Amino acid sequence: MMSSSAALVLALGLILVNFTGHCHGALQVGFYRGKCRLLVDVESVVATVVKAKLIMDPTITPALLRMQFHDCFVNGCDASILLDGRASEKTAPPNLSVRGYDVIDAAKAALESICPGVVSCADIIAMATRDAVSLSGGGRYNVETGRKDGFVSLATNVNLPGPDIPVAQSVATFAKKGLNATDMVYLLGGHTVGIAHCSFFQDRLYNYKNTGKPDPNMDPSLLVSLRRICPMNSARDNTVNLDQDPASSLRVDNSFYKQIMMRRGILQIDQDLATNSLTKATVAKIATGDDFNAKFGEAMVKMGRVQVLTGNQGEIRKSCRAVNKR
Ligand code: HEM
């Protein structure tokens, strides 16, 4: 039996945790504190790996951002995207250009060598993405941890939004994941870094909505340069930067919003954010304000809560690419 004073202390503790906002369900900032050989700082082990990888390849930041989105939106943030297999999620068409698996493998190997079976792959994705974002000019947000890894990964479950999704439909898709329209606009700011293949926006250059003409809402000089990179019947699927400010295409900042306000968005959904009545006010606010970094971090934390497995659910994988043998 717990004494009444002990119960009071426990209750106060729980209230405090809630008020400080550090706890969300079973997720919590600093979940691994004291759990890896007592004194090992799990987050700095991950950060060291990410830093070393990023020096060699700055495109790891977009790779990880997209990986976290594609993981969280399919079966929740449970590292299901990492599982290898003939028909696992990573084999589904929208995931074929997802990269960065080697970064997660390296962080997992480093952690397993120090404290095996403690840190989940789902948390490694969240921590590594946060580190990459902050090392690429973004804000350093407090990442929540305590996720478990899932057992299921099926390509047939992959139902991610395509680049031509109408804004209202995208808002509805994000709402199903507990994310509102403002969260969505900030999260699409992930497109402030990285690339898109011509095949995802080719229609805008030559045959917008079957008109036989280009998208009238595209800056004419952007149209000229994109047509050069993405010729009409090319056998090659080239790539262009999602953020068309060349000084900022690998920096996590608000320049993406400035670009879409100048009709220089690459994907249809990106451009539509700047004109649709549901989202344009938020876009204008972000483009002219300076709170993108903090708010993007908050939205990433919120996305990291989608359908997580915690407590006795799921497992801590030994390898991020396979479920443990049972
Ligand atoms: C309606 C929602 C979204 C749609 C339709 C969408 C669509 C796309 C498409 C078509 C690409 C190009 C992929 C390629 O050519 O290989 C892309 C790239 C990317 N997306 Fe999204 N996306 C969405 C939301 C997000 C979110 C929420 C994030 C992260 C917070 C994100 C981060 C990225 C990044 C960083 C890239 C570049 C990847 C790289 O360089 O390898 N996207 N997205």
Give a yes or no: residue 11 inside a domain.
no
Q: Does residue 320 lie in a domain region?
A: no
pLDDT values of the chain reduced to their tens digit, one per residue, 326 residues? 444 444 444 444 443 443 333 445 689 999 999 999 989 999 999 999 999 999 999 999 999 999 999 999 999 999 999 999 999 999 999 999 999 999 999 999 999 999 999 999 999 999 999 999 999 999 999 999 999 999 999 999 999 999 999 999 999 999 999 999 999 999 999 999 999 999 999 999 999 999 999 999 999 999 999 999 999 989 999 999 999 999 999 999 999 999 999 999 999 999 999 999 999 999 999 999 879 999 999 999 999 999 999 999 999 999 999 999 87
Instruction: Using the atom order of ligand 1, give the atom closest to the CA of residue 161.
Output: 5
pLDDT at 39: 94
Q: Are residues 188 and 289 in the same domain?
A: yes
| Same domain (yes/no): 133, 173 | no
User: Do residues 229 and 192 share a domain?
Assistant: yes
- Supply 143's token pair: 């990442």
81 and 184 belong to one structural domain: no
Q: Are 133 and 158 in contact (CB under 8 A)?
A: no
Co-location of 83 and 148 in the same domain: yes
Q: How far is the CA of 2 from the centre of ligand 1 (A)?
A: 51
Q: Is 267 in the pocket of ligand 1 (CB under 6 A)?
A: yes
Domain that holds residue 202: 167-302
Q: What is residue 20's predicted lDDT score, i.e. its pLDDT?
A: 37
- Say if residues 54 and 118 touch (Cβ distance below 8 Å): no
Same domain, 145 and 173: no
Query: Atom 8 of ligand 1 has which residue's CA nearest to it?
Result: 163
- The reply to whether 73 and 175 lie within a common domain is no
Q: What is the pLDDT of residue 231?
A: 97
Q: Are the C-beta atoms of 100 and 63 separated by less than 8 Å?
A: yes
Closest residue by CA, ligand 1 atom 28:
190
Domain count, the chain: 2
**CA distance linking residue 36 with residue 111, whole number of Å:** 9
In a domain, 308, yes or no: no
Give how far Cα 62 sits from Cα of 51, 58, 168, 241, Å.
14, 8, 25, 11
Q: Does residue 325 belong to any structural domain of this protein?
A: no
- Could you tell me if the CB of 58 is within 6 A of ligand 1? no
Domain endpoint, select from 118, 135, 160: 160
Query: Is the CB–ligand 1 distance for residue 65 below 6 Å?
Result: yes
> By the 8 A CB rule, do 211 and 279 touch?
no
Catalytic residues: 70
Report the residue count for the chain.
Answer: 326
Question: Do 30 and 98 belong to one domain?
Answer: yes
Q: Domain with 91 in it: what CATH number?
A: 1.10.520.10
pLDDT of residue 58: 97
Is residue 5 domain-resident? no
Same domain, 55 and 108: yes
What pLDDT, on the 0 to 100 scale, is given for residue 195? Answer: 98
Task: Please indicate, yes or no, whether residues 71 and 134 belong to a single structural domain of this protein.
Answer: yes
Which residues, other chains included, contact 34 with Cβ-Cβ below 8 Å and sequence gap of 6+? none
For residue 193, give the ligand 1 atom closest to its CA. 35
Flag whether 84 is in a domain: yes
**How remote is the CA of residue 97 from the centroid of ligand 1, in Å?**
10
Confirm or reject: Cβ of 196 under 6 Å from ligand 1. Answer: yes
Does residue 314 fall inside a structural domain? no
**Residue 15 falls within a domain, yes or no?**
no
Q: Note the pLDDT of residue 12.
A: 41
Q: For ligand 1, is residue 185 a contact (CB within 6 Å)?
A: no
Cα separation, 147 vs 4, whole angstroms:
32
CATH number at residue 284: 1.10.420.10
Are 175 and 154 contained in the same domain?
no
Domain boundary among 128, 160, 192: 160
Which atom number of ligand 1 is nearest to the Cα of residue 162?
A: 5
* 156 and 32 in a common domain: yes
pLDDT of residue 24: 55
Residue 91 burial (C-beta neighbours within 10 Å; 0-12, 13-18, 19+): middle
